[in-house]
Structure 1
Amino acid sequence: MSEPMPPGALEGVRVVEFAQALAIPFAGLLLADMGADVIKVEPPAGDGIRSTMEPILPGESKGFTLVNRGKRSICLDVTRPEARPVVEALVRWADVAMLSMKPADLPRYGLAYEDFAAINPRIVFLEHVPLGKLGPFGGDPGYDVVVQAMSGTSVLTARERDGAPMNIRPAFNDMGTGAFSALGVVAALRHRDLTGQGQRVETSLLSTAMALGHQLLSWFGATDAQKDEPYRAEMAQARRRGAAFEEQRAIWERHYVRGGYANIYFRHYRTRDSFVSVGCLSPQLNARFRAVTGVDDPRIEPGFELGTPAAYDRLTRLVREVEDLFMTKTTGAWIEALRAGGVPCGPLNFPPDVFHDPQLIENGYVVDIEHPLFGTYKTFGPPLRMDATPTRIRSAAPQLDQHTEEVLGELGFGESERRQLRSAGITGVEGATSA
């Protein structure tokens, strides 16, 4: 017989999740992978993304399935006063409450931190406010695509349609916010272990975008102050005449991305049959790249001066020369040569390709999960590996209302009380007939 798997690091931690869509549900997934008991509270119609984000069956979609594994689901209409006893019971039960709702709705429905702390002073209360509470958009709803635009990270995409930038996929601000939220919860639990006190933790999509995009989203007086005025003047003129995204992006690059046009060390290359990516971020790695390719980079020559027309012409030719060079061999041949020379590199996979890539499969970065309604699906494995307290996937995403009766029973609601709640529409699926 095989030995039972050791408990996860968060075994015994109880989490109640009042959240829909992606960001906070992804945090709940991460906590569940680490052993937490996560109860997802859904409205009677279910999480909105059950019916959007690539539906598979009625009430089941790819989007919902991918961010809700390992949880239990109950249906509860928290907007109705009759739901209050259930909400309070959940708060007493929980170590952690995670909410993603309009800030104004929290006190309206008795879901604010002060309401929860009065019931359970030790609770860790994670509140997600997409755009932050303050400022001209304070408290507004927000989604990843909106935050990509407001944070400046939309300029990262090189694709446009009808003169406007296309949004970046996947929704990296949602996933990043989920990861930061899980980190905040774990830190607050550590604080509670030391002090016995709960606390409020706040996250936002906008703050996540600033953190993830910090390499571009920074300003240094020593190097950037002199660029602001000419950039703003040229950009204002372009916007007055309705310039397309590509032209506006070129203005930004011209003023702020000095020498970016001559990148040969950190990029994708087209090969004879596909594409290869190289990543060199140090003089030593750059030298290895030049040794493998035989490229002469004038920037390492003494006295070479950037910023001149002659330099621009020479470096533009250099980029074309390297691009032409990579077209002479296959991706496999280039990867063999680059790896032998100690250059970080890899093939460019399209999404379906990753499920057949042995690098991902053998490390458990791609896993199979069995869903009771639509069978096997492939997704990412737990992103953390822990020796003493292993992470693992406990179950597929729950069906709507799957655990309502089970959870209410654990919370102390008798059969008669549960029947009354369901017949009144406080629990259960919208439009379903009660037994």
Structure 2
Amino acid sequence: MPSPLAGIRILDLTSVIMGPYATQMLAEYGADVIKVEPPEGDIMRKMGPCGKAGMGPVFLNLNRGKRSLCLDLKSAAGRDAMYRAVASADVFITNVRLKALKKLGLDRDALHQHNPRLIYLFLSGFSEAGRHAGRPAYDDLIQAMVGLPHLSTAAAGGDPRYVPLNIADKTMGLFAAQTVLAALLQRARSGSGQYIELPMYETMAGFVLLDHLAGNTLVPPVGEPGNPRLVSRYRRPYRTRDGWLSTMIYTDGHWAAFLALVGRPDIWERDRRFGSVAARTECVDIVYAFIEEQMLQRDSADWLEALARADIPVAPIADLKALVDDLRQSPAGVIEEYQGHSGERYLGVSPAVRWAGASAPLAAAPSLGEHNEEILRELPAAHRESRPQSR
């Protein structure tokens, strides 16, 4: 069975994390992703410890299975090669700022002249229809603007903190990949290409407010924004006598079993604050504080065994090394060893999704300009005599 996106060509004029994460997923689905890079390469090539120059770990983990086309888009030859590539492409995806795209002749009107069936996805920091249009956007800034540091303070106190992940970039990568898939389905029905803008700030704001619009959902509002369970200061891993555990005592069944386990079944009958999901949500700090008090009474190993036996969700708190070690031992894969083009060995994060039929092995990320000659031979004839320099 062919891969789902076999035969689809995607021009990837993105850098850093958001766009490359989206296009790597599409490459994993079988698309031919051509990563267009300037002569200096994607900035992430130089980030982190490099076993091979220009092949930093984040770059390796976000650009596997792609082909690299190195072009100087400020030159006539580079733009000509880009237009030839556009003529053969199904999708063009970019997170270059709109002003720069217009200056380079890579705005939507210019590219649709070369390929009316092209799906053009513009990943903007802020909606071009909004009051922040044109501003630069980075993960930390977007986290701040959509309230994530505020939520961390509300939940845990202390100084505001960013989520220690590039969570906005990677969430936007997921949105971008699904947007491309939907656009390809629409084009299969209509036969026409289109322009799509996917703004980072507005998309992430909606992502956060799905949980936290709360009382503002109703008009007029009946309460302030914020989900009380999610911002409770007690919503955190629980300390045991000798460590920490995560447990989720959530349903009525969980609570009846937990109260019996700690020798307090009477609470279920006489204390209305524990008797329903609605009541527990209303009194969330009280019920979470009760769990915290009880968890201190036993060792972690005792709790893991007792809670699992009672069918209450529970898990130890893993550090990153433990996570990698666990996944390397899993028959489901996820963390796998693979070989680079020059024989070097890497660990990579493979997709957890499993399609019917054989799964393709992990493919290496490309070196800068590695596929220039190969790709340029595949493209339609040049509009000019000049040709870009291969690297």
Same fold (TM over 0.5): yes
Moved more, 39-48 or 361-370: 361-370
Whether the 8 Å CA contact 2:118–2:194 is kept in 1: the answer is: yes
Question: Paired residue for 1:11, among 6, 25, 28?
Answer: 6
Aligned residue identity for 1:382? P
Aligned residue identity for 1:341? A
Cross-structure match for 2:375:
407
Moved more, 195-204 or 34-43: 195-204
* 2:257 matches 1:257: no
Cross-structure match for 2:366:
398
Aligned residue identity for 1:107? K
What aligned pairs does 1:58-73 form with structure 2 within 5 A after superposition?
Answer: 58-73=53-68
Compared CA separation, residues 300 and 36, structure 1 to 2 (3 A) = farther
Cα distance in structure 2, aligned partners of 1:25 and 1:150: 23
Whether the 8 Å CA contact 1:130–1:205 is kept in 2: the answer is: yes
Compared CA separation, residues 319 and 215, structure 1 to 2 (3 A) = closer
Aligned residue identity for 1:362? P
Cross-structure match for 1:3:
none
Per-residue deviation, residues 260-299 of structure 1 (Å, max 9, x unmatched): 6485xx6421234432211244333333333334456968
Question: Paired residue for 1:215, among 211, 215, 218?
Answer: 211
Secondary structure class of the residue paired with 1:215: helix
Once the two structures are TM-superposed, the CA of residue 399 in structure 1 deviates from its matched residue by 1.0
Aligned residue identity for 1:79? K
* 2:317 matches 1:322: no
Once the two structures are TM-superposed, the CA of residue 135 in structure 1 deviates from its matched residue by 3.0
Whether the 8 Å CA contact 1:278–1:345 is kept in 2: the answer is: yes
Cα distance in structure 1, aligned partners of 2:171 and 2:18: 8
Secondary structure class of the residue paired with 1:145: helix
Secondary structure class of the residue paired with 1:212: helix
Which residues of structure 2 form unaligned runs of 5+? 275-279
Cross-structure match for 2:116:
121
Question: Paired residue for 1:365, among 331, 334, 353?
Answer: 334
Once the two structures are TM-superposed, the CA of residue 225 in structure 1 deviates from its matched residue by 3.8
Whether the 8 Å CA contact 1:262–1:315 is kept in 2: the answer is: no
Aligned residue identity for 2:309? A
Cα distance in structure 1, aligned partners of 2:118 and 2:329: 38
Which residues of structure 1 form unaligned runs of 5+? 1-5, 229-251, 306-310, 429-435
Cα distance in structure 1, aligned partners of 2:298 and 2:148: 34
Per-residue deviation, residues 367-426 of structure 1 (Å, max 9, x unmatched): 2232346833333221322225x6545411111111111111222579xx78x532xxxx
Cα distance in structure 2, aligned partners of 1:114 and 1:142: 24
What aligned pairs does 1:19-98 form with structure 2 within 5 A after superposition?
Answer: 19-98=14-93
Secondary structure class of the residue paired with 1:203: strand
Cα distance in structure 2, aligned partners of 1:323 and 1:98: 48
Cross-structure match for 1:236:
none
Once the two structures are TM-superposed, the CA of residue 138 in structure 1 deviates from its matched residue by 0.9
Cα distance in structure 1, aligned partners of 2:309 and 2:359: 34
Whether the 8 Å CA contact 1:34–1:391 is kept in 2: the answer is: no
Cross-structure match for 2:388:
421
Cross-structure match for 2:246:
277
Moved more, 370-379 or 108-117: 370-379
Cα distance in structure 2, aligned partners of 1:267 and 1:224: 33
Whether the 8 Å CA contact 1:8–1:391 is kept in 2: the answer is: no
Cα distance in structure 2, aligned partners of 1:319 and 1:186: 42
Cross-structure match for 2:277:
none
Question: Paired residue for 1:182, among 173, 177, 181?
Answer: 177
Cross-structure match for 2:130:
135
Whether the 8 Å CA contact 1:73–1:398 is kept in 2: the answer is: yes
Secondary structure class of the residue paired with 2:188: helix
Compared CA separation, residues 368 and 301, structure 1 to 2 (3 A) = farther
Aligned residue identity for 1:134? A
Moved more, 332-341 or 22-31: 332-341
Once the two structures are TM-superposed, the CA of residue 15 in structure 1 deviates from its matched residue by 0.7
Once the two structures are TM-superposed, the CA of residue 77 in structure 1 deviates from its matched residue by 1.4
Cα distance in structure 1, aligned partners of 2:30 and 2:169: 22
Aligned residue identity for 2:121? L
Whether the 8 Å CA contact 2:249–2:312 is kept in 1: the answer is: yes
Cα distance in structure 2, aligned partners of 1:221 and 1:195: 36
Cα distance in structure 2, aligned partners of 1:23 and 1:318: 39
Give the TM-score normalised by the residue count of structure 2.
Answer: 0.85
Cross-structure match for 2:260:
291
Whether the 8 Å CA contact 1:298–1:304 is kept in 2: the answer is: no
Moved more, 37-46 or 111-120: 111-120
Compared CA separation, residues 88 and 394, structure 1 to 2 (3 A) = farther
* 2:341 matches 1:346: no
Give the TM-score normalised by the residue count of structure 1.
Answer: 0.77
Once the two structures are TM-superposed, the CA of residue 359 in structure 1 deviates from its matched residue by 9.1
What aligned pairs does 1:94-173 form with structure 2 within 5 A after superposition?
Answer: 94-157=89-152, 164-173=159-168
Per-residue deviation, residues 157-179 of structure 1 (Å, max 9, x unmatched): 3599xx75232121111111111
Secondary structure class of the residue paired with 1:30: helix
Secondary structure class of the residue paired with 1:382: coil
